[in-house]
């Protein structure tokens, strides 16, 4: 399994990361545990999760999968929705309990999708106070944020972090073959992250399945494209062993795409990606969990 350094943290992580939402899609808990352990047994060290995924079941299942010595083999990340210090603290305690660990390697503020989010999180009594305190207490190692809506919101969050003097270790964002054509994170945010030495977590390599439906590029190419960018890890959802094996194949066979190949891919996807209609996380509320469940922002109740 190829590995890369997670920004300026110096930590080595697997090029492929296992998404926390899809691993809990199977009805049976044992199947989820099998997926997580199969991924780890085949070199995946970066595990993604979130406080709200499947009403906490994703964290619970992952926590069980990480027993029997598996916790020590991985870099564990989860996300919190709470925008206030009290809410974020309460959600973090739940995540620690569900994941059955004393320390979470990386905690990210989830769904930074509103222009008001940076000020709320970094303001007095905001969630960042909880993360900084948790880091000092040894409950978390690193701090980051994630969002899928608009590069300008990401840039506002980065500016706020710089202004407040609370450096971020990682940023998670959509990176795929459609992204360069509409409201592009690759064009607007990626250069800033690399310049500042912030770890880049690529997500939504299949644009929520839309690219596969269109059939313009192969599934392997969908993964090789963001892997060819200066990403630290590319996180993908795997809800079955077959999908996971395909992702593992992409990682093990990865060779950086040359400029001519990239140009050909972007030419083939230009029309499909031009209006953002196949990246619905950018243009609709379909993927906005905290819009559908606004109480996640202010309470620790699922």
The CATH code of the domain that includes 233 is 3.20.20.100
Predicted confidence (pLDDT) per residue in 165-208, tens digit: 999 999 999 999 999 999 999 999 999 999 999 999 999 999 99
Q: Which residues 6+ apart lie within 8 Å of 115 measured at CB? A: 152, 153, 156
Predicted confidence (pLDDT) per residue in 43-90, tens digit: 999 999 999 999 999 999 999 999 999 999 999 999 999 999 999 999
- Flag whether 302 is in a domain: no
48, 112, 106, 222 alpha-carbon torsion, rounded to 10°:
40
Closest CA to 233 of 300, 173, 295, 168: 173
Predicted confidence (pLDDT) per residue in 215-228, tens digit: 899 999 999 999 99
CB neighbour burial string for 107-139, b if at least 16 within 10 angstroms, e if fewer: bbbbbbbbeebbebbbbeebbbbbbeebeeeeb
Any idea which residue has 């029309």 for tokens? 271
Strands 12-14 and 16-18: unpaired
Q: Which residues 6+ apart lie within 8 Å of 96 measured at CB? A: 102, 104, 139
Query: d(Cα 152, Cα 167) in Å, to the nearest integer?
Result: 18
Q: How many distinct structural domains can be found in the chain?
A: 1
Any idea which residue has 């990626």 for tokens? 190
- Flag whether 248 is in a domain: yes
Element (H, E) at 159: helix 151-164
Query: d(Cα 39, Cα 46) in Å, to the nearest integer?
Result: 10
- Is the CA virtual torsion 58, 285, 171, 191 positive or negative? positive
- Flag whether 199 is in a domain: yes
What pLDDT, on the 0 to 100 scale, is given for residue 24? 97
Longest CA–CA span in the chain (Å) reads 51
Query: d(Cα 134, Cα 232) in Å, to the nearest integer?
Result: 24
Query: d(Cα 216, Cα 221) in Å, to the nearest integer?
Result: 10
- pTM of the model as a whole: 0.97
What pLDDT, on the 0 to 100 scale, is given for residue 20? 97
Written as one string, the DSSP assignment of 161-205 is HHHHT---SEEEEE-SSSGGGSS-HHHHTHHHHHHHTPEEEEE-T
What pLDDT, on the 0 to 100 scale, is given for residue 188? 98
The boundaries of the domain holding residue 189 are: 3-297
CA 170 vs CA 107, 108, 118, 197: distances in Å: 9, 8, 15, 9
């Amino acid at each position: 399994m190829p590995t890369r350094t997670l920004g300026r943290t110096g930590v080595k992580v697997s090029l492929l990361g296992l998404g926390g939402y899809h691993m809990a899609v199977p009805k049976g808990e044992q199947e989820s545990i099998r997926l997580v352990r199969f991924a780890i047994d085949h070199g995946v060290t970066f595990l993604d999760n979130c406080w709200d995924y499947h009403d906490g079941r994703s964290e619970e299942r992952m926590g069980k999968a990480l027993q029997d010595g598996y916790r020590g083999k991985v870099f564990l990340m989860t996300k919190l929705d709470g925008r206030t210090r009290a809410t974020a603290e309460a959600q973090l305690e739940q995540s620690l309990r569900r994941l059955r660990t004393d320390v979470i390697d990386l905690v990210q503020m989830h769904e930074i999708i509103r222009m008001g989010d940076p000020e709320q999180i970094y303001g007095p009594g905001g969630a960042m106070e909880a993360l900084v305190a948790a880091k000092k207490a040894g409950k978390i190692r690193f701090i980051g944020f994630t969002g899928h809506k608009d590069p300008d919101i990401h840039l506002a969050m980065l500016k706020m972090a710089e202004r407040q003097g609370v450096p971020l270790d990682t940023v998670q964002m959509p990176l795929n073959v459609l992204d360069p054509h509409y409201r592009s994170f690759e064009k607007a945010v990626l250069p800033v992250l690399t310049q500042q030495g912030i770890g880049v977590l690529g997500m939504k390599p299949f644009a929520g399945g839309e690219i596969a439906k269109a059939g313009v590029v192969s599934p392997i190419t969908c993964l090789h494209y963001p892997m060819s960018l200066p990403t630290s890890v590319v996180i993908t959802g795997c809800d079955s062993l077959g999908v996971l094996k395909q992702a593992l194949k992409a990682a093990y066979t990865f060779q950086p795409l040359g400029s001519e190949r990239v140009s050909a891919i972007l030419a083939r996807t230009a029309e499909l990606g031009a209006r953002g209609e196949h990246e619905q996380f950018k243009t609709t509320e379909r993927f906005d969990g905290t819009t559908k469940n606004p109480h996640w922002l202010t309470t620790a109740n699922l």
